[in-house]
Amino acid sequence: MLLFGVAFCCLVVFFYGALTFPYAPYKPCAGGPYCDKTGQHRSDDTYRRWKSWEQLLFICLPLGMVAGIGLERLRKQA
């Protein structure tokens, strides 16, 4: 059950960022603090929230992969 919870949590983190930051990545630009991939200006707060999500995703992704492999092995044993 723990493996399912970890895998589900990782999927939630991924889809949260995909839906919250659809125009990421953000990068510094001349007309404002940051711009998205369409050229729209974004605030420092939005950039910091995106970077936090990105770091969380890089932590969560390997854990989700391990949980997925563990779930697959448990399914084969049953």
Residue-range domain boundaries for the chain:
2-77
Give the pLDDT band of residue 57 (cuts 50, 70, 90): very high
- Contacts of residue 20, Cβ cutoff 8 Å, sequence gap at least 6: 49, 53
The pLDDT, as a whole number, for residue 71 is 84
Q: What does pTM read for this prediction?
A: 0.80
CA 6-15-62 angle, 5° bins: 40
Q: What is the pLDDT of residues 6-55, one digit of tens each?
A: 888 889 999 999 999 999 999 999 877 999 999 899 999 999 999 999 99
In this prediction, residue 2 carries a pLDDT of 78
Classified as helix, coil or strand, 28 is strand
